[in-house]
Amino acid sequence: MEVIKTDIEGVVIIEPRIFKDARGYFFESFSQREFDEKIRHIEFCQDNESMSSYGVMRGLHFQRPPFTQSKLVRCVKGAVLDVAVDIRKGSPTYGRHVAVELTEDNHRQFFIPRGFAHGFAVLSDTAVFQYKCDEFYHPETDGGISIIDDSLGIDWRIPTEHAILSEKDTRHEVLKDFDSPFDINVDLY
């Protein structure tokens, strides 16, 4: 796998080595050994999958301490724009984001460490999205910032009239009103 660093430390894009022949293709979607060597040791404990239609926007989500999560995400069917926003108080990149298109064709994965809010927008007719987490889901620690906060400067590539959000995601605060539970010293992993 190739690890592509982004403008924000700890947030990386992963491109697998894909082996193609007349039968189709093969690649390792995750190798603990390679992840440990090239990124950092992590112990994932939960895999999740969602299916969504065009225009669905999910996020920007995180879990509050002590149940913070790192995520390794990928799109196995269709295409999504995936985004990580730095919400660590005192971080030189606070409020900045990294966006990457994840598709069934590019097989890219995106690693989002603790201290970041995460969300995605579905760009294809439908998308199947999978992600690994290093902490179990704890609904009592759910948190979020508004996915439609213009101050974040994210081009979701979805016209506003086609955006589909859950009721919960429409109630998140914008970044300027948000009191982050994370600081620059958060263990990213």
Residue in 97, 107, 118, 131 annotated catalytic:
131
Q: What is the mean pLDDT of residues 107-120?
A: 97
Q: What is the pTM of this model?
A: 0.93
Residue 184's pLDDT is 83
Q: What is the mean pLDDT of residues 124-137?
A: 97
Check if 41 is active-site: no
Is pLDDT at 12 greater than 90 in this prediction?
Answer: yes
**Mean pLDDT for all residues in the chain:** 95
The pLDDT-based confidence of 116 (bands split at 50, 70, 90) is very high
Residue 188's pLDDT is 63
Position 88, amino acid = R
Is pLDDT at 189 greater than 70 in this prediction?
Answer: no
The pLDDT-based confidence of 183 (bands split at 50, 70, 90) is confident
Residue 170's pLDDT is 93
Residue in 61, 97, 118, 172 annotated catalytic:
61
Q: Which residues of 1-32 are buried (b: 16+ CB within 10 A; e: fewer)?
A: beeeebebebbbbbebeeeeeeeeeeeeeeee
Check if 94 is active-site: no
Q: Which domains does the chain have, with CATH numbers?
A: 44-182 (2.60.120.10)
How would DSSP label each residue in the chain? -EEEE-SSTT-EEEE---EEETTEEE--S--HHHHHHHT------EEEEEEEETTBEEEEEEE-TTS---EEEEEEESEEEEEEEE-EET-TTTT-EEEEEEETTT--EEEE-TTEEEEEEE-SSEEEEEEEESS---GGGEEEB-TT-GGG----SS-GGG-B--HHHHTPBPGGG---SEETTS---
The pLDDT-based confidence of 185 (bands split at 50, 70, 90) is confident
